[in-house]
């Protein structure tokens, strides 16, 4: 009897141990499932806000750096401030005539484009804080030296150097944002970043108006001080950037260990465990992907009017019959309104996940603005057209870049694709440099007509690509159903087998 009771007690202990073990396993499984599901909606919103405050503002300051008052802008104004320098006497002081000003604009862009793909690959090989700081120091030095040129040849050389130095910034920052945010969150962040470019245009007019009053100081002309002060501000910002930029979520000092794990979980879930390592074969995958070339065509359709607008707006407004100083100030309001449109449309595109539709509608809005400029000699209607043009064109730049980044799978291929798209788009700057020729003043009919056409090209390309991507998503869903499978039902092993296929993986779905 005693022996029997001992056995029973032993069996009971074993049973109790089994219950405890099963309970522990269930707890682990629940904890694991919780990790797979991620944070609660409230905690996720808090995490995203935390990232926003620590990432986006400083990136925007790379385009608009607060430096005393009024604040000078950095990258975007550094390439377009030559338009303000022109009104401050640049051509006369350097003995320029004919199309030499247009040539000085154009030589910037081929070198800008050459730098973009290698720069993104270098950022992948090094780290964002180091590479972006190097880029900024290089273009700050080039910009400062541009203020010291004494002839047309010196201006050309400095513009070429500036293009090569600055080329990696925009595609680099765009790629950097994709390393932190889910695909449907990138558009708004890129819009916030790029909205600083519109503010750069606004502050550029105010800044130039103030700086030209330094004419004669130190034996330099007013236009020279525009370049020098903005170049020095960029160098200072580069030193700060090295310490302010957080390289990756897993090394970010402002995130807790749980938050780091959650950011990486969200990215993995959003991009379906696609290849993240550096490998040259992903470079060639990008080069062979026809969709990227469509994005490139769409991009040049909006980059051409973007640069035409930013480079020539002071000249366009002046030819409406206003003085040089008044023209500088009148360039400000269109940029301010465009800034609000850039952020608003970026938010709507993210919210509804409809980038193609938003791209097409914005491009059409831009074409309406250039139609206003083309169709009427009345200054009031022409000036109204500048608002429509800015509000249509500026939102397209972050949107097309976000759309490209959303639909290219694998980080290396995505980095190359973004650089290809931004690079080809920036070749629109070469076209833009000759869109408004001095022989066409004061109406610039051919220039306005050209930009109506490029905006409509972008609208048509966006609409067609959006239709294709919708059909391709439906086709992949149908294939899954035919095989009694679903994206949600795929195992880690099944997804791992396709990780090198990028956006051609069976489980990848495009943002339309």
Percent of the chain at pLDDT > 70 equals 80
**So what's the pLDDT on residue 271?**
63
In 3D, which of 386, 324, 269 has the Cα closest to residue 85?
A: 324
- For residue 105, give the nearest of 426, 506, 354, 473 by alpha carbon: 426
3-state class (DSSP) for residue 304:
helix
- Lowest pLDDT segment from 128-132, 178-182, 302-306, 502-506: 502-506
- Would you state the pLDDT for residue 206? 62
Q: At 9, is the pLDDT very low, low, confident or very high (cuts 50, 70, 90)?
A: very low
CATH code for the structural domain at 41-256+285-500 = 1.20.1250.20
Higher pLDDT pick, 272 / 498: 498
Ordered by start, the domain boundaries in the chain are 41-256+285-500
Measured between alpha carbons, how far is residue 91 from residues 102, 236, 430, 511 in Å? Answer: 11, 29, 19, 46
Q: What mean pLDDT is predicted for residues 185-194?
A: 83
Confidence of residue 34 (pLDDT cuts 50, 70, 90): very low
More confident residue, 366 or 177: 366
Beta-carbon count within 10 A of 376 CB: 14
Instruction: Give the residue with greater pLDDT, 501 vs 263.
Output: 263
Residue 64, strand partner residues: 73
The answer on pLDDT for 387 being more than 90 is yes
The pLDDT assigned to 273 comes to 59
Secondary structure (3-state) at 64: strand
pLDDT band at 17 (very low <50, low <70, confident <90, very high): very low
Q: How confident is the model at residue 64 (pLDDT cuts 50, 70, 90)?
A: low
pLDDT of residue 327: 77
What pLDDT sits at residue 117?
80
Is the distance from CB of 279 to CB of 414 less than 8 angstroms?
Answer: no
Any idea which of 85-94, 341-350, 408-417, 459-468 has the lowest mean pLDDT?
Answer: 85-94
Average pLDDT over residues 366-376: 95
Flag whether the pTM goes above 0.85: no
In tens, the pLDDT along 394-417 reads 999 989 988 998 888 777 788 888
The top-scoring range by mean pLDDT among 82-91, 209-218, 234-243, 251-260 is 251-260
Return the sign of the alpha-carbon dihedral for residues 464, 465, 467, 471.
positive
Could you give the count of Cα atoms lying within 13 Å of 86 in the half-sphere of its Cβ?
Answer: 21
Closest CA to 54 of 141, 138, 180: 180
Q: How far apart are CA 16 and CA 150, in angstroms?
A: 90
* Residues of the chain above pLDDT 90, percent: 29
pLDDT winner (highest mean) among 125-134, 166-175, 216-225, 490-499: 125-134
Say how many residues make up the chain: 512
Residue 268, classified by CB atoms within 10 Å of its CB into exposed (0-12), middle (13-18) or buried (19+), is middle
How far apart CA 273 and CA 278 sit, in angstroms, is 15
Q: Looking at the predicted structure, is the pLDDT value of residue 311 above 60?
A: yes
Over the stretch 195-222, which tens digit does the pLDDT of each residue have?
766 666 566 556 666 666 676 677 777 7
């Amino acid at each position: 009897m005693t022996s029997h009771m001992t056995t029973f007690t032993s069996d009971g202990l074993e049973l109790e141990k089994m219950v405890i073990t099963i309970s522990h396993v269930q707890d682990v499984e629940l904890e694991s499932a919780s990790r797979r599901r991620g944070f609660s909606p409230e905690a996720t919103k808090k995490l995203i806000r935390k990232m926003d405050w620590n990432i986006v503002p400083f990136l925007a300051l790379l385009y608009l750096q607060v430096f005393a008052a009024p604040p000078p802008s950095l990258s975007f104004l550094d390439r377009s401030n030559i338009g303000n320098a022109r009104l401050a006497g640049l051509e006369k002081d350097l003995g320029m005539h004919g199309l030499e000003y247009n040539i000085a604009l154009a030589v910037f862009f081929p070198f800008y484009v050459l730098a973009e793909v290698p720069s993104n690959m270098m950022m992948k090989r090094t780290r964002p804080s180091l590479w972006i700081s190097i880029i900024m120091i290089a273009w700050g030095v080039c910009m400062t030296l541009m203020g010291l040129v004494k002839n047309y040849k010196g201006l050309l050389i400095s513009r070429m150097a500036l293009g090569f130095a600055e080329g990696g910034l925009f595609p680099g920052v765009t790629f950097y944002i994709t390393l932190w945010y889910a695909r449907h969150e990138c558009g708004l962040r890129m819009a916030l970043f790029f909205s600083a470019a519109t503010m750069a245009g606004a502050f550029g007019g105010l800044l130039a108006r103030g700086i030209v009053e330094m004419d004669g100081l130190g034996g330099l002309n007013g236009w020279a001080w525009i370049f020098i002060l903005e170049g020095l501000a960029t160098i200072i910002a580069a030193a700060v950037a090295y310490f302010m930029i957080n390289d990756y979520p897993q090394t970010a000092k402002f995130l807790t260990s749980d938050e780091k794990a959650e950011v990486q979980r969200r990215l993995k879930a959003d991009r379906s465990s696609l290849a993240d390592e550096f490998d040259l074969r992903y470079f060639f995958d990008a080069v062979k992907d026809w969709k990227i070339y469509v994005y490139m065509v769409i991009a040049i359709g909006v980059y051409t009017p973007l640069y035409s607008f930013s480079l020539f707006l002071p000249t366009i407004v002046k030819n409406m019959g206003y003085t040089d100083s008044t023209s500088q100030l009148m360039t400000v309001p269109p940029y301010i309104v465009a800034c609000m449109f850039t952020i608003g449309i970026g938010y709507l595109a993210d919210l509804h996940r409809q980038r193609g539709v938003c791209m097409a509608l914005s491009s059409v809005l831009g074409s309406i603005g250039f139609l206003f400029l083309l169709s009427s000699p009345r200054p009031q209607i022409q000036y109204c057209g500048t608002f429509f043009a800015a509000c249509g064109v500026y939102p397209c730049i972050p949107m097309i870049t976000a759309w490209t980044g959303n639909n290219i799978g694998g980080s290396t291929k995505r980095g190359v694709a973004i650089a290809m798209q931004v690079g080809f788009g920036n070749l629109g700057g070469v076209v833009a440099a000759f869109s408004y020729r001095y022989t066409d003043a004061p109406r610039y009919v051919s220039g306005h007509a050209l930009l109506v056409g490029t905006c409509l090209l972008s609208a048509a390309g966006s609409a067609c690509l959006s239709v294709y991507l919708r059909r391709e998503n439906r086709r992949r869903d149908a294939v899954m159903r035919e095989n009694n499978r679903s994206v949600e039902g795929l195992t880690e092993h099944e997804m791992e087998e396709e990780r090198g296929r990028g956006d051609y993986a069976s489980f990848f779905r495009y943002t339309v």
